[in-house]
Chains A and B, each alone.
Chain A
Amino acid sequence: MKKMNIKIFSFLSVLILIGIWLLLTLSGWVKPLFLPGPKELYEVITTSYKDVFMHMGYTLIRQLGGFVIGSLAGIIVGLLIASNRYIEAFMDPIIEILRPIPPLAIIPLLILWLGIGALPQMLLVVFGCFVIVIVSTVEAVRNVPRIYINAARTLGANSFSVYRTIVLPAIIPSLVGAIRVAAGASFGLVVAAEFMGAQEGIGYYMIIAQRYLRTDMILLSIIIISALAWLTDQAIRILERRLTRWSERHS
């Protein structure tokens, strides 16, 4: 019963958003160029759904690949850094130099160095997810209660075992936030990456839309990206619930 009520609230908020959109567009208060209405949206969907599906597929492959590789690399390097003061001292400046580089800024350099293939596009997503996850991993490792590590060490675990059996499971709840942020960012990154000469993908579709100020296409792209991101987030949450059943947060 209570769960039902909560679902209704979620439903309501989506309904209100859609309601506002319908009100603004159907009343004619806002012109379609500024905010396309249901008519424009319907039209653009019916005329180009095939193209859009094709673009979506390409985008999804780049996003998923980049997100998974970048996040995994971030976790692994983060664990490495947090494991040893010397590694940390060595890696920290490199990470700190790389981390803030705006992906937009290196697009021309990446193209110069690597051309316009799938590699530099994926790399941009990998890089973006990597720097998000690595920082959170280092923080999460620092926040693992010492007593668990101490207990493991007195039970004979070496540094590697401690990492595998204690640090890794203990940081999962804290990592979830970072992974979710990285997943969200990966969609923004893949769009930026597809600015680098991709000839397909939602990012490409968006550039074309921007060039012609086709706000209907822009809106459709945003809806698609949001939907994909939402689905990804739901998947992460389901995975999380399975991985952190032991945690207090679910009781």
Chain B
Amino acid sequence: MHLGLFIAFAVICVAGAISLVAQRHPINSALSLIVVMGSLAVLYLLLGAEFVAAIQLIVYAGAIMVLFVFVIMLLNAGAEERTRGSRVAMALGVPGLIVVAGVLMYTLAGHTAAGQDQLAIGATYGPPVAIGRSLFREFLLPFEVTSILILIAIMGAVLLARYHAAPAPETRAIDPDEAGDLLQLAGTHGSAAGARERRRAEHRMREREVTR
């Protein structure tokens, strides 16, 4: 049971990660990453780390990745283009990586520490209370330091977004010359007969292209 769940979610994890690499549109990559994070949260539950699992879901999937998706939507990032740089990286990176991964896995798999007693499904290790206690006693200093880090990050993000923002397009009373462009862009208001005429013309054009 335990192993079955592990294998299932490990496979989902790896599939998500591969999809992250393989997808060309950033939003698909982001969604793949969310899948990875979700299944990691399940793996944490298997390991009995409830609190971390929940935090993983809330912070990683619910906050950080939302930020990513948001930015992708805002910047309207299109599918990425292949450049020469990416081809070089492919040629060097993939074989090199396989070697590194192989070595890593060999080392790790070799050191199969004799099984400590395994937790049952649903059993917990590291309840929130215990985590809180150690966080606010042993690790109080690092905790406070991270809070300062977060504060700095917030200020930095605000500053960056403010400081480097291009001057906002100014609002102005309608300049009728431009109003024309505006209407042109938005589509002008013609008669039904005119629209029919144009549609017919377009149709004829298309037919000519087809026959050619």
- Interaction A to B: no
